[in-house]
Amino acid sequence: MANMKNLKIKTGVCKWLMKELQSYQSEADKECIKAKNMRRSHADPFDIKQQEHVVAESSLTISNCRK
């Protein structure tokens, strides 16, 4: 019985992590598109740099989540 409970807990954690990873990936995609649009529209260089920083943080979060 204890093994079944542990299995349910571990399965729930895996499902939660996969859902979180998908959420991070979709967020990173949106931020990347936003950065590209800012570059195309010749936005303020500081704003572009800040947006690229957000994209870098998003990709770092994804790699940490995969570990």
Kindly report, residue by residue over 25-49, the tens digit of the pLDDT.
999 999 999 999 999 998 888 988 9
Residue pair 45/62 in contact (Cβ under 8 Å)? The answer is: no
CA distances from 3 to 6, 12, 48 (A): 5, 14, 51
pTM of this structure: 0.74
Q: Structure tokens of 63?
A: 């790699």
pLDDT-wise least confident of 1-5, 20-24, 40-44, 47-51: 1-5
Within-domain flag for 55: yes
Rounded to whole angstroms, how far apart are CA atoms 44 and 41?
9
Residue 52 lies in a domain: yes
CB 35 within 8 A of CB 52: yes
Mean pLDDT computed over every residue of the chain: 89
Residue 1 domain flag = no
Split into its structural domains, the chain has a count of 1
**Is 48 a domain residue?**
yes
With 80 as the cut, is the pLDDT of residue 2 above it?
A: no
